């Protein structure tokens, strides 16, 4: 019988990545700063992306890695049509659910993205408030 090994997950944990400690770099830092000031928004890293939530509802996400630039935003049908006409592209797999992809490569792109993020946030906030009132 070999030496007993500890269960996976026991022992010293990995150090927190510096990018997480700083709240992102480049456009991600600016997005996190802006969205972090909106009421009820929670920002959490998930699956290599910053996830932007209102309650339990995900309304957008942006890559942790600075070389990735695809901001995913969940919009209502009319806003999705306008975003697509305005230069965003349909999400590769989730466009039927209202998701679009916008490139945010530099700080100058953040302003345009925030307009769509504000719409996604308002939609998510209204949905969460309906659920809280019991209106499903």
41-69 core/surface letters (b: 16 or more CB in 10 A; e: else): bebeeeeebbbbbbeebbbbbbbbeeeeb
Model pLDDT for residues 111-133, shown as the tens digit of each residue: 999 999 999 999 999 999 999 99
Whether the predicted pLDDT of 135 surpasses 80 = no
Residue 92 covered by a domain: yes
Are 23 and 32 in contact by the 8 Å Cβ rule? The answer is yes
pLDDT computed for residue 55 by the predictor: 94
Per-residue pLDDT band at 71 (split at 50, 70, 90): very high
Task: Tell me whether residue 111 is in a domain.
Answer: yes
- Look up the pTM and report it: 0.81
Q: So what's the pLDDT on residue 124?
A: 97
Minimum mean pLDDT range among 56-60, 78-82, 92-96: 92-96
7 part of a folded domain: no
Tell me, yes or no, whether 4 lies in a domain. Answer: no
Range of the domain at 56: 25-130
pLDDT of residue 108: 85
Q: Is residue 113 part of a domain?
A: yes
Total tally of structural domains belonging to the chain: 1
Whether 20 is covered by a domain: the verdict is: no
Domain CATH code at residue 80: 3.90.1150.30
């Amino acid at each position: 019988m070999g030496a007993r090994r500890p269960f996976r997950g026991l022992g010293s944990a990995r150090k927190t990545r510096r990018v997480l400690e700083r709240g992102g770099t480049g456009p991600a830092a600016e997005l996190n700063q802006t969205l972090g000031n909106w009421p009820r928004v929670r920002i959490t890293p998930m699956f290599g992306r910053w996830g932007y939530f209102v309650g339990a509802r995900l309304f957008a996400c942006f890559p942790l890695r600075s070389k990735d630039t695809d901001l995913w935003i969940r919009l209502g049908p009319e806003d999705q049509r306008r975003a697509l006409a305005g230069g965003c592209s349909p999400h590769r797999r989730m466009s039927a659910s209202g998701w679009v992809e916008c490139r945010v490569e530099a700080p100058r792109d953040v302003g345009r993205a925030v307009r769509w993020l504000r719409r996604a946030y308002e939609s998510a906030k209204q949905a969460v408030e309906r659920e809280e009132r019991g209106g499903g």
